[in-house]
């Protein structure tokens, strides 16, 4: 069971989604505009947002960027656009997944379940699982509590940055192929390497390193990416 916000301006589609998702035991609220969605998200806690792109007041892609400015709630984009470049832009801008219209509610609920599992939201109340922090050198990553620290200092990471870091931290010293990162972190069977490169660049900046002078994140050209402890005696690059 999850708390859902459906952002859809078509009353027939909206009604069908509300009915079927409610029958699946989810708690559903719905709005028909981007501005209403922003207001709802700011005032109410949700486990997941289903966002249509064809909204009457703002384009859904713009709404997604605005949502990401105020919340890290998972977002599944529902779109009639199947252009690969547009989909990559949406994922880079913070979408957790997307569905191309028309789609079945069964398909939507399967994608929802995958996103909720990956983000640790929407599960039944119960005893929390014990912490299982991953330690790589001075880097500590706790996937259950979604916390990351570098040398005891908390890292301010976006949802996707954390997912990428946690996946690599769970495989220290192993070169992870880019195709695997797309499949496991982005839940995509295909995509542009630029998506990974952008997030790696952001991560490196927050880890205090650069691609030219890596400490934790190392790109193996033509193969993939690995995360490993800094070599003995390595130091942080001087800040300008």
Whether residue 99 sits in one domain with residue 12 = yes
- Give tens-digit pLDDT for 140-186: 998 777 889 999 999 998 888 888 998 898 888 889 888 888 877 87
Whether residue 212 sits in one domain with residue 138 = yes
User: Binning pLDDT at 50, 70 and 90, where does residue 190 land?
Assistant: low
C-beta of residue 195 within 8 angstroms of C-beta of residue 88: yes
Residue 128 lies in a domain: no
**Predicted local confidence at residue 81, as pLDDT:** 75
In this predicted model, which residue has the larger pLDDT, 149 or 81? 149
Residue 95: domain span: 3-119
Tabulate helix, strand, coil % of the chain (nearest 5).
Answer: 35, 20, 45
Q: Which of 119, 151, 171 is the last residue of a domain?
A: 119
**Predicted local confidence at residue 59, as pLDDT:** 84
How many folded domains does the chain comprise?
2
Residue 88's Cβ-count burial label (10 Å; 0-12, 13-18, 19+) is: middle
- Give tens-digit pLDDT for 16-48: 888 888 888 888 999 999 999 998 888 877 889
- Give tens-digit pLDDT for 101-131: 888 888 888 888 888 887 776 654 333 344 4
The pLDDT of residue 13 is above 90: no
Cα four-point dihedral sign 55, 65, 71, 22: positive
Whether residue 114 sits in one domain with residue 16 = yes
User: Binning pLDDT at 50, 70 and 90, where does residue 238 land?
Assistant: very low
Tell me the pairing of strands 75-79 and 97-100. parallel
| CA 147/CA 132 separation, integer angstroms | 11
Which residues are CB-contacts of 96 (< 8 A; sequence separation ≥ 6)?
Answer: 74, 75, 76, 115, 118, 119, 159, 187
Q: What is the mean pLDDT of the chain?
A: 83
Q: Which of 91, 119, 147 is the last residue of a domain?
A: 119
């Amino acid at each position: 069971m999850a708390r859902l916000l459906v952002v859809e301006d078509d009353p027939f589609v909206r009604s069908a989604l509300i009915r079927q998702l409610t029958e699946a035991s989810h708690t559903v609220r719905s709005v028909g505009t981007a501005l209403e969605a922003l207001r709802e998200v700011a005032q109410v806690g949700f486990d997941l947002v289903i966002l249509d792109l064809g909204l009457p007041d703002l384009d859904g892609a713009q709404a997604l960027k605005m949502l990401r400015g105020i919340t890290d709630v998972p977002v599944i984009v529902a779109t009639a656009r199947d252009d690969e470049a547009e989909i990559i832009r949406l994922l880079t801008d913070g979408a957790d997944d997307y569905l191309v219209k028309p789609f079945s509610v069964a398909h939507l609920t399967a994608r929802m379940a995958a996103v909720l599992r990956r983000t640790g939201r929407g599960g039944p109340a119960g005893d929390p699982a014990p912490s299982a922090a991953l330690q790589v050198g001075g880097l500590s990553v706790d996937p259950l509590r979604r916390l990351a620290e570098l040398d005891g200092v908390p890292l301010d990471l976006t949802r996707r940055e954390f997912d990428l870091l946690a996946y690599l931290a769970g495989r220290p010293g192993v070169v992870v192929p880019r195709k695997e990162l797309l499949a496991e972190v982005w839940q995509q069977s295909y995509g542009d390497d630029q998506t990974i490169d952008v997030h790696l660049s952001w991560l490196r900046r927050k880890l205090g390193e650069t691609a030219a002078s890596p400490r934790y994140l190392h790109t193996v050209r033509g193969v993939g990416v690995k995360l490993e402890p800094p070599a003995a005696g390595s130091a942080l690059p001087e800040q300008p």
